[in-house]
Amino acid sequence: MTKKLSRKVVDSLGTEWRSSGREPWVYEARDPGDLLGVHTELIASSLLPDEKLLYLLYSPIWNGTWTPFGISAQPASHALAVTNNRFLLSRNLHRDDAEPTVFSIPFEQVLWAEYGNAILLGWFSLYSILEDGPGRISVLFKSTGEKFFTSALRHYRQTLPRQDSTIGRGKERIAWQDLWNLVSELEACGVRPLLLEDEILMGWLRAGQKWSYRRKLLRWRPECESPENLLLWTSTGVIHVIQEPDIRPEIHSFGLTVRSLPWYAIQRAEVVAAGDLRLSLGRDKADLRLEVPFDKEYRDQADMFVRAVERKVDDACRRSGNRV
């Protein structure tokens, strides 16, 4: 659901409500009164009487529209609220031809929530089932504000139902340190801020970068066909980490994007082709496919993940009284 604040209402709020949108940093707000500009009215008027506000932040304008991972957004100031059952995202483009807007995204419509950074640039994105089908709503910000967006994501993840951590792998407990010993520090720094205190690791799989050589201007030049991927699943949900492809095999990039998927958004998982895990995402029906590559030594873990999803779907069907 989208709501706009009319120009008449904006003008009536008075000069003390106005904001250029170009404040120097992202910050956490205690309540809508701590926000700047029209965001106070947008968020306050959108909260329901019985709705609990879990987290709130303000993010000023970032002068850019694009990220290395294809996420784009118009320059705007935003406020992001996490409540007990939905995201509220207010947006002000600070242009006379655009009215301030607030988006309401119930948690059950979220397919994944995503954050990432590439040096000075940071981003936050919600991929969800919108009125006209799956779509993305995104915020770009200065990467020094990343900790506030990861806090918002962690508050969201705290509301998610827990999965039986023994599904597909037996009763043995996997130590988080086993994962940290394997992955890069960049990947670990992307995952750690999202984890809950009692979150149980169930498994993971990885794929390294894949390179090929193409002839350009009479020379053979390397091209990255597939970036590094890490998929891990826990008692809370699934986390998918993608690293920005290196410029050359010997020239590294430092961008990273991290997706948090709730278990209930995954309707099906299957291994396709040679080394690809396909996830079908949606609610009543599968609306989106997400393919995750993995190296051949992780085939057993990929099969384990498929069984975990099948068990999750079977349990959901039994609870609802439907047959698979």
More confident residue, 251 or 38: 38
Mean pLDDT, rounded, for 2-19: 53
Other C-beta atoms lying within 10 Å of the C-beta of residue 84 = 13
Can you name the residues that pair with 141 across neighbouring β-strands? Answer: 122
Query: Which sign, positive or negative, has the C-alpha torsion 142, 291, 169, 320?
Result: positive
Mean pLDDT, rounded, for 267-278: 90
Residue 1 has pLDDT above 80, yes or no: no
User: Using alpha carbons only, what angle is made at residue 64 by residues 59 and 69, rounded to the nearest 5 degrees?
Assistant: 95
Q: In whole angstroms, give the CA distance from residue 294 to residue 301.
A: 10
Residue 242 has pLDDT above 90, yes or no: yes
Mean pLDDT, rounded, for 298-321: 85
Mean pLDDT, rounded, for 218-223: 76
Q: In whole angstroms, give the CA distance from residue 125 to residue 137.
A: 6
Mean pLDDT, rounded, for 55-74: 96
Which segments of the chain belong to CATH 2.30.29.30?
Answer: 2-158
Give the list of residues 6+ apart from residue 148 with CB closer than 8 angstroms, or none.
26, 27, 28, 57, 59
Q: Which two three-digit tokens encode residue 202? A: 């169930």
CATH number of 2-158: 2.30.29.30
pLDDT tens string 144-181:
999 999 999 999 999 999 887 665 555 578 999 999 99
Q: How many CA atoms lie within 13 A of 190 on its CB side?
A: 31
pLDDT for the residue numbered 103: 96
For residue 306, the surrounding DSSP H or E stretch is helix 299-320
Residue 35 has pLDDT above 70, yes or no: yes
Mean pLDDT, rounded, for 132-142: 91
pTM summary value: 0.90
Residue 8 has pLDDT above 60, yes or no: no
pLDDT for the residue numbered 295: 94
For domain 176-320, is the CATH number 2.30.29? yes
Mean pLDDT, rounded, for 251-269: 93
